[in-house]
Amino acid sequence: MKVNVVRKRRLEDYRGIVPREDISKVQELAEKLEGISVVHINSTAFGGGVAEILSSMVPLMRSIGLKTDWEVIEAPNEFFNVTKLLHHGIQGMKVELTDSMRKLYLRVNRENSEKLDLSRDIIVVHDPQPAAIRYFREGRGRWVWRCHIDASSPYKPIWDFIGSFIRLYDAYIFHMEEYIQPDLNRGKAYVIKPSIDPLSNKNREISISEIENILAKYDIDPDRPIIIQVARFDPWKDPIGAIDVYRKVKEKIPGTQLLLISSMAHDDPEGWVYYEKTTRYAGNDYDIHFLTNLIGVGDIEVNAFQRAADVALQMSTREGFGLSVTEALWKGTPVVARGVGGIKVQVIDGKTGFLVEDIRDATEKVILLLKNKDLRDRLGNAGKEHVRKNFLITRHLYDYLKLFFKLLS
């Protein structure tokens, strides 16, 4: 199913926001690639980091002369139950994939390989859900698999299954060097960090009055300390751990509020189960706010919450990269997080936030930040500059262009 991308983007719009050299490097390489055709394939048009990146990346690629489209696979809910197991297995959980599950996965990928328009110069397939399409489809194009999850220590039976399809690609992209498995061809493997779009509704500048109105709408008190965690309801994201940190902080700083913010994605049926588990754990504490798209929380609201927060938590035990960390840092909000996956290249301990090992360590660092505004400001300013230099969409676009040029040369 082709996604109708409504967001408009031009490279020139980013002048004065991103480093100047980002613009010139993209322009130089875009001239050499003008007119090539590209298609991105993933499993959902909304919810989650992949859809968010593509909603800006696709129009930006178009603006520099690449004929770019975005296709979403069609699949029943049972398929996404299977691919959630694949996701867990790639991140190291011991899960069982039955023969019927494998057959369902292959059948859906085969059906989509027959439906989708894949006659392009470059085909970029995102994550495990559509990975087997390559197995069923030949063609003149160059195939790229883009992994957005932590593949540092996958469960071997799951990796053996999914890896058999990945090895068919002309290139594979990971967020971190340690995610590249030894059975892959190292010459085909690339490390490209993801990014945020500073012009999107989630990341653009908004007024103080707009922030205040949104806080009032959701009954959040701007005069009391605010901790947030933006993440799916998922065991890997550990929202239970975030609640534990909040409760211990509140013992020392009464009145503290916790905002658990999430978008319930179409391709994550397990999210509903963990959402209910987390709400039960929170109990009747009215200072714990569950803020999702189910009650009208969209990109502007997330933007406001991240700007209003005193501290952003990210208690993930596995993390592909952690774009919610990038978002918080971009807004000058210091982050307290476990040093897993891509978080550890974003949170520079003591400079843009704090890396922690456990609940006690996280509690101590949150209390330190809540009691010291000068420290919050210093870390927040450094975090924004770190994102500006490393994790904005123009740099990401340039990395894609370099790869496309190499594959087509």
CA geometry: angle 287, 256, 286, nearest 5 deg? 5
CATH of the domain at 256: 3.40.50.2000
Residue 271 lies in a domain: yes
Q: DSSP states of 373-401 as a string?
A: HHHHHHHHHHHHHHHHHHSBHHHHHHHHH
For the chain, what is the domain count? 2
In this prediction, residue 269 carries a pLDDT of 64
User: 213 and 163 in one domain?
Assistant: no
Q: Is the pLDDT score of 244 beyond 80?
A: yes
Q: Is the pLDDT score of 265 beyond 90?
A: no
What CA–CA distance (Å, rounded) separates 63 from 79? Answer: 35
pLDDT (average), residues 1-18: 90
User: 41 and 53 in one domain?
Assistant: yes
Residue 5 lies in a domain: no
Give the β-pairing of 171-174 and 189-191. parallel
Q: Is the pLDDT score of 267 beyond 60?
A: no
pLDDT tens-digit series, residues 13-22:
999 999 999 9
Residue 225 lies in a domain: yes
In this prediction, residue 280 carries a pLDDT of 96
In this prediction, residue 45 carries a pLDDT of 84
Where residue 6 falls among pLDDT bands split at 50, 70, 90? confident
Interacting residues of 386 by C-beta distance below 8 A, sequence separation 6+ = 329, 346, 348, 351, 352
CA geometry: angle 270, 164, 78, nearest 5 deg? 25
Residue 367 lies in a domain: yes
Helix axes 373-390, 359-370, angle to 10 degrees: 110
Q: Is the pLDDT score of 247 beyond 60?
A: yes
Residue 224 lies in a domain: yes
Where residue 290 falls among pLDDT bands split at 50, 70, 90? very high
Closest among 322, 341, 332 to 229, alpha carbons compared: 322
Residue 200 lies in a domain: no
Q: Is the pLDDT score of 210 beyond 70?
A: yes
Residue 3 lies in a domain: no
pLDDT (average), residues 315-336: 96
User: 179 and 35 in one domain?
Assistant: yes
pLDDT tens-digit series, residues 27-86:
999 999 999 999 999 998 877 789 999 999 999 999 999 999 999 999 999 999 999 999
User: 35 and 113 in one domain?
Assistant: yes
User: 398 and 279 in one domain?
Assistant: no
Q: Is the pLDDT score of 196 beyond 70?
A: yes
Residue 356 lies in a domain: yes
Q: Is the pLDDT score of 266 beyond 60?
A: no
* Residue range of the domain that includes 112: 11-195+392-408
User: 353 and 290 in one domain?
Assistant: yes
User: 402 and 384 in one domain?
Assistant: no
Write down the mean pLDDT value for the chain: 95
User: 277 and 359 in one domain?
Assistant: yes
For 234, the token pair is 């998922």
Q: Is the pLDDT score of 379 beyond 80?
A: yes
User: 177 and 71 in one domain?
Assistant: yes
Where residue 271 falls among pLDDT bands split at 50, 70, 90? confident
pLDDT tens-digit series, residues 138-170:
878 999 999 999 999 999 999 999 999 999 999
User: 144 and 232 in one domain?
Assistant: no
Q: Is the pLDDT score of 186 beyond 70?
A: yes
User: 185 and 108 in one domain?
Assistant: yes
User: 398 and 382 in one domain?
Assistant: no
CA distances to 175, 279, 315, 368 from 243, in Å: 28, 10, 10, 18
